[in-house]
Amino acid sequence: MSGIHIDEFYADAAQILVSLYGVFPRRVNLFAEDICGEDEPDEYGLHSTRFQACFATMVWLGEEGYIRYENTMRQDAVDQAVLSGKCFSALVGPANADADDLSDGTDEADLPPSVRAEHASIVYHLEKALKRRSSVEIRKAFMPLLAKMS
């Protein structure tokens, strides 16, 4: 069993990647508060542990080659962020068989091939899991991406 910080990491990472996918290939400033919510720094100017973890997730995604960005903006945002080519390819690629557990009961056979391909993608499963706000589903949807990117 993982700690809540790992569940928050999966949720933050998934939200970051889905957000960047939604504007791909444009570069955007990505703010931690847009991912994990507003945070008021304390009297010393330090953000909460939760906010810092979200920002650290952005930096980690960059270090591991999921995203690229120009600079950090203090500990609030990353400047000019975009998905890496490898991550974009992985996101639009098919999820593994375990992702079928995230199905909403739609009969996929009745859908056009292009829609079936989209529904099989990792990014589609991440979006669905994020909408359901289930840490188990988010983790399950994120694992194929980790496997493809390693």
Helix axes 4-23, 135-149, angle to 10 degrees: 70
pLDDT tens-digit readout, 99-133: 445 455 555 666 666 677 778 899 999 999 999 99
CB 95 within 8 A of CB 118: no
The secondary element (H helix, E strand) that includes residue 137 is helix 135-149
Task: Give the whole-angstrom CA distance, residue 143 versus residue 145.
Answer: 5
| Residue 26 belongs to domain spanning | 4-149
Q: Please report the pLDDT score of residue 113 as a whole number.
A: 67
DSSP-derived 3-state class of residue 48: coil
Q: Please report the pLDDT score of residue 95 as a whole number.
A: 85
Q: How far is CA 86 from CA 6, 16, 48, 67, 83, in A?
A: 23, 16, 32, 9, 8
Radius of gyration (C-alpha) of the chain in whole angstroms: 16
pTM beyond 0.85: the answer is yes
Q: Count the domains in the chain.
A: 1
Task: Give the whole-angstrom CA distance, residue 76 versus residue 106.
Answer: 40
Residues of the chain predicted below pLDDT 70 = 1-2, 97-114
Q: Please report the pLDDT score of residue 138 as a whole number.
A: 95
Q: Please report the pLDDT score of residue 99 as a whole number.
A: 44
